[in-house]
A = this chain, B = another copy of it.
Amino acid sequence: VFSPSVYKAPGQQAFQLGQPAIDAFPHAIWHRLLSRRYRCSWQELFGYQDAFGYPPLRAAIAAYLGVARGVQCSPDQVIITAGSQQGLDLLARTLLQPDDAVWMEDPGYGGARWAFQRAGLRVVPVPLDHAGLDVSAAQNLAPDARLAFVTPSHQFPLGMTMSLERRLALLAWATDRQSWIVEDDCNSEYRYAGRPLPALQGLDTSGRVLYLGTFSNILFPALRLGYLVVPSALVDTLMTARRVVDLHAPALEQAVVADFIVQGHFVRHIRRMRTLYTHRQTVLRTAIGRYLPGILEVHPDPAGMHLVAWLPPQLAESEPIVQAAHAIGLELLPLSWFSVGPLRRQGLVLGYAAIDDDQIIEGVRTLSRVVERTLKDSRQNVLRDA
């Protein structure tokens, strides 16, 4: 059931993950930029293009990341990809050999795990604590790892920030071992409280960090554009690999994204979405407090587009709830879907960014009926077994 096919359903259902509020997207502006670019630039944008992407978009991304995230790069280190998934697949195939060990946060991002497994790599799940990936534990588990996959600004899916001390330890390990760090920063823009720590990439003085970003969360998923910022030494290798995979990304939309960033719409849109998503997160927490009090436990998250709702400790499995929820049209994923090792406590991962207040509240009410029925069934099973 919990295969990549969960990404299939289009539309805006409660509580689909990774879906932004496409109804709050500035469609009039985008449409205007798209039309103008088509009329003015088709001669430039219809033939074969640079494998690494449209140069003005690469420049716009480098400038944006420098200011917003403290990423240190020149435009020629920026590779435009078909979403962050292609970046992961590309680096997994190109930088490592089959059976190389990879440290993966556990629980962690499924898309990265698929890409690593598909490339024949040995995924080593590493435990997390309040400061993120436990680097000491990782070094004990697989000191010879060739790559570490981390989400330092907002751990996916649990949400902690990797401490500066931990970041420095990870960089020291990578430098010492000549291993790679993949910093997935896909959720960094949506931070609602405090100032985010700048990207790990900005601390890297040895060229060991590959920085991964996407426009799926900020613009829209079906755009299929993301980027990979790589050390200069990797540019040629990845350029050749990219050409073999699919030559290059579609050009017209790259130009539109470049205009959208350069003209300031991008930053304005992020600011508006921060306000909207802060509100939606509050609505979700309030609804859970009202309809599932003492049953689902949620905490405020200062960032992201989802919350982890913890199930009662006595529930050893989340699958019955998730399957019952799917059966009546709720799109949600169990925390166990993101983990390899056993979880100390089961949870549900609930996306809230794409849906309005009514959908959130209605979704929680539906979920409450599912959860209560499942809890009742599980109590009866316990009684019957006793």
Instruction: Enumerate chain A interface residues (CB-CB to B < 8 A).
Output: 3-5, 7-12, 18-19, 22-23, 25, 27, 31, 34-35, 38-39, 42-51, 81-83, 85-86, 89, 111, 114-115, 118, 220-225, 240-241, 243-253, 354
How many Å from the CB of A104 to the closest CB on chain B? 15
Q: Choose among B8, B22, B42 the residue that contacts A46 (Cβ–Cβ < 8 A).
A: B22
Contacts of A82 in B (CB 8 A): 82, 246-247
Would you call B4 and A221 a contact (CB within 8 A)? no
Would you call B250 and A12 a contact (CB within 8 A)? no
Find the B residue at minimum CB distance from A114.
Answer: B244
Find the B residue at minimum CB distance from A9.
Answer: B48
How many Å from the CB of A31 to the closest CB on chain B? 5
Q: Choose among B19, B85, B115 the residue that contacts A47 (Cβ–Cβ < 8 A).
A: B19
Having A7-B243, A31-B38, A245-B245, one finds 20 other A-B pairs with CB under 8 Å, namely A4-B244, A5-B51, A7-B247, A8-B48, A9-B48, A10-B49, A19-B47, A45-B222, A46-B222, A47-B220, A47-B222, A49-B221, A81-B246, A82-B82, A89-B246, A115-B244, A118-B244, A222-B250, A222-B252, A224-B247
Q: A224-B250, A250-B223 are in contact. Are A51 and B244 (CB under 8 A)?
A: no
What is the CA–CA distance of A9 and B247 in the complex, to the nearest angstrom? 12
What is the CA–CA distance of A217 and B51 in the complex, to the nearest angstrom? 18
23 contacts across the A-B interface (CB closer than 8 A): A4-B243, A7-B48, A8-B48, A9-B48, A10-B49, A11-B43, A11-B44, A12-B47, A19-B48, A22-B43, A34-B34, A47-B220, A48-B221, A48-B222, A82-B246, A83-B246, A85-B247, A114-B244, A222-B248, A224-B246, A224-B247, A224-B248, A225-B250
Would you call B47 and A38 a contact (CB within 8 A)? no
**Number of copies of this protein chain within its complex:** 2
Find the B residue at minimum CB distance from A117.
Answer: B244
How many Å from the CB of A214 to the closest CB on chain B? 11
What is the CA–CA distance of A19 and B354 in the complex, to the nearest angstrom? 40
What is the CA–CA distance of A84 and B247 in the complex, to the nearest angstrom? 10
What is the CA–CA distance of A25 and B47 in the complex, to the nearest angstrom? 12
Instruction: Identify whether the interface residues of A are mostly helix, strand, loop, or mixed.
Output: helix
What is the CA–CA distance of A335 and B118 in the complex, to the nearest angstrom? 36
Contacts of A250 in B (CB 8 A): 222-225, 250, 253
Would you call A7 and B252 a contact (CB within 8 A)? no
How many Å from the CB of A120 to the closest CB on chain B? 9
Find the B residue at minimum CB distance from A3.
Answer: B240
Contacts of A89 in B (CB 8 A): 244-246
Contacts of A10 in B (CB 8 A): 44, 47-50
Contacts of A85 in B (CB 8 A): 243-247
Q: A3-B240, A250-B223 are in contact. Are A245 and B48 (CB under 8 A)?
A: no
Would you call A7 and B51 a contact (CB within 8 A)? yes
Contacts of A11 in B (CB 8 A): 43-44, 47
What is the CA–CA distance of A8 and B48 in the complex, to the nearest angstrom? 7
**Chain B CB within 10 Å, residue with most, of A46, A240, A250:** A46
How many Å from the CB of A36 to the closest CB on chain B? 11
What is the CA–CA distance of A11 and B47 in the complex, to the nearest angstrom? 6
Q: Choose among B9, B45, B241, B248 the residue that contacts A118 (Cβ–Cβ < 8 A).
A: B241
